[in-house]
A = this chain, B = another copy of it.
Amino acid sequence: MKNISFLVLSLFILNACSNKKTKPFTASNSTIDYTQFVSPFIGTSKMGHVFPGATAPFGMVQLSPQTNFETMFENGHYNPKTYDYCAGYQYKDSTIIGFSHTNLSGTGHSDLGDFLVMPTIGDLVLDPLKTNDNKKGFYSTFSHDNEEASPGYYKVMLDSYDIKAELTTSDRVGFHQYTFPKSDNAHIILDMVYNVYQYENKNVWTFIRVENDSTVTGYRQTKGWARDRKVFFAMKFSKPFKSYGHKKYDQIIYDGFYRKFKQFENFPEMAGKNIRAYFNFDTKANEKIQIKMALSSVSSAGALKNLQTEIPGWNFEKTKSKTKEKWNKELSKIEIKTIAESDKTTFYTALYHTMLSPIIYEDVDGQYRGLDQNIHVSDDFTNYTVFSLWDTYRALHPLFNIIQPKRNNDMVKSMLAHYDQSVHHMLPIWSHYANENWCMIGYHATSVIADALVKHVGDFDKEHALQASFNTSNVDYYDGIGDYKKYHFVPEDKNSSSVSKTLEYAYDDWCIAQIAKQVAKPEIESEYLKRSEYYKNVYDVSIGFMRPKLSNGTFKKEFDPLDTEGQGFIEGNAWNYGLYVPQDIDNMIAMMGGKERFSQHLDSLFTMNLDDKYIEKNEDITRDGLIGNYVHGNEPSHHIPYLYNWTGHPEKTQAVVRMIMNTMYGPTVDGLCGNDDAGQMSAWYVFSSLGFYPVTPGSPNYALGSPLVKEAKIHLDNGKTLMIRAENQSKDHVYVKRVMLNGIPITNNQISHHNIENGGHLVFEMSGHPNK
């Protein structure tokens, strides 16, 4: 998407208003197939980092094609383009090397890619790219013309072999269906070497057992983004293989297996750092070979139990349709009418993207691997992992509090279990398959907890949650917390990204104060309210920017508020990130010179021209995600468009959010302007489309924006419905004239969760002109 300046866009909007009346809201139609509006390919081009493969809502298995082979480890070097392939797939590619069972959605760093399966025919080739004698590897070419994806289903023709590949999943089982041509030399390759980038070096150990002529089990341990990650599997073939074998790529120190047996064919036990196995078949024309592969964090026995419980039979269509049904259940929680039909695709795909993580992380019997690497049982909750909290506390978890309260409660309980198992006695920062990968900053689990508490979501142990939050925020060796407590800011000479950390700790501390308030611990509340004001200590009034301060109390001398590197901020600059005081917006604005000056700062932010030199430095900031110097492609700016509300210029918020929705999102493969970040980018869109946004998670309030929908019905878990209507809505009617909640006008540009948690009617009166 192009960088369209705010002023130009505003003029465009102002000049093209209309006054069509919207139809009255129709009753819920449960027969609508909402999956038709989801295109999993949206965001698979450029930097969205989402995958197009099959998965169930919040499913443990993400079975998706891997196209990243051009970027693999070759000649001892990694291809620097690997950042593009965090989800294993780029739409521009024309080759597939197989289908792997785990993929992250939208993250800015990579991992996973477990258990790559690839069907081939002809001479057996076990090298993915090319053989030692320079012949073609086992990859296949494919065309998007022969590719199809919908929630829980993926299909592609593997042209190199004339094999049709179809994929679906249950929660814990990947279900493959390959339609072969006639062949007496057909193969299914199980590549245990493959990882989503950092190709050969992530493996710690792999293990495969061929239990019988159609069942295979095993596991893999990797040391990627998650340092001690173990994934177990159980795999069943619909047809017995006629033979099988493997190739081992690592040095053998002592190995009685190979010394004794000297055979890699039909030998049922394989282990080593890097192994590729294959299974051979004869196939008739159009013969289908199906594979079910279940995962477990516990053991291969656990995986087998998952397999037998979730998909005991061989009916591919049945699994596909059950998963589609699950998706419909989730997607239909928000029914919308839109101005343009294509907005439905953008909206429901965004909604789909909010349900790809966190993922269920336990076996059907409740056993799961904990952070301590011991096996635990989730007695009263479902355990989840993949908490990219620096991203998702902002809008994703608040969205869950509306449409997934039960899951969000389970997620909080998962975080508390993580805390219980943490040797640091910390809540998760980035919970990653029984690991803490420590990615990004802050301790934002406290925000998720506070937000759930103030919105009365869940039945988790509040006292325990407060204790966990308190302990987390007092681990002095973590990322400058000790210094933060000592100096009342994080000193830049002792910690990098010191301003970002100060601002986010202050916000998180405000969240802890909210938790303490809920639990009636006034002393803790008061202590943390004090800590929540530490943001003031990094504001340099002389230049009007948040600025890194040294431990001697002086500000860092060299300072460029446009730069994203070495200026006290992480993945952002002072212009954007310096506005991060969601817990105390009025005071921040006052501190920064008052409403008008702040509003002008925002105007400049959205319209200024940012030099290339500032963009090239950070892979999380790209031209595609920029509006002026405003970075929508990364999280620290996500609340900024709504800050106009606090400056007396809500009309600017309204215009900007509509512009962002129209320019930063879309129904095309490049319809995400940056990493979806485990659903946060999409959650921003879902909220903004509905006309409100949680600027301050941990408070019950939502800032009002400008809805993109014409109508929306949000079906709440309590059986009530929140009805949203944008009257006089059109593409150009981006301004809100008046908002009525249950017939009462709203004058402060915000609504409270407590006013909507029992349903109601939220009516926006739209207009082509700003309501000054």
Contacts and interface: CB of A to CB of B under 8 A. Distances in A.
A372 B209 contact: yes
A438 B256 contact: yes
Contact of A227 (B257, B261, B300, B478): B257
B373 A256 contact: no
Contacts of A221: 204-205, 221
A424 interface: yes
Name A's interface SS. Answer: loop
A35 to B, nearest CB: 36
A477 B266 contact: yes
A311 to B, nearest CB: 21
A29 interface: no
A135 interface: no
Contacts of A437: 256
A271 B435 CA distance: 12
Contacts of A228: 205, 207, 271
A16 interface: no
A224 B209 CA distance: 19
Given A205-B228, A228-B205, A257 B300 contact: no
A590 interface: no
A439 interface: yes
Instruction: Give the copy number.
Output: 2
Residue picked from A254, A424, A430, A477, most chain B C-beta under 10 Å: A254
A268 interface: yes
Interface string A492-525: 0000000000000000000000000000000000
A374 B256 contact: no
A511 to B, nearest CB: 21
Contact of A299 (B198, B254, B256, B373): B373
Nearest to A375: B299
Contacts of A436: 256
A225 interface: yes
B373 A300 contact: yes
Given A201-B253, A437-B256, A267 B477 contact: yes
B373 A225 contact: no
Nearest to A266: B477
A223 interface: yes
Contacts of A255: 227
B223 A253 contact: yes
A557 interface: no
A277 to B, nearest CB: 13
Contacts of A479: 260-261
Interface in A90-140: 109
A204 B274 CA distance: 12
Given A224-B253, A224-B254, A253-B223, A207 B260 contact: no
Nearest to A300: B374
A569 interface: no
A544 B136 CA distance: 59
26 contacts: A198-B253, A198-B254, A201-B253, A204-B204, A204-B221, A205-B223, A207-B373, A209-B372, A209-B423, A210-B423, A217-B372, A223-B253, A224-B253, A225-B256, A227-B255, A256-B430, A256-B438, A257-B438, A259-B438, A260-B438, A263-B477, A268-B424, A269-B423, A299-B374, A301-B372, A301-B375
Given A205-B223, A210-B423, 19 more contacts: A198-B253, A198-B254, A202-B253, A204-B205, A205-B205, A205-B221, A209-B423, A211-B423, A217-B372, A219-B373, A223-B253, A224-B253, A256-B439, A261-B478, A266-B477, A268-B423, A269-B423, A299-B375, A300-B374
Closest 3 CB pairs of A and B: A256-B438, A301-B374, A260-B438
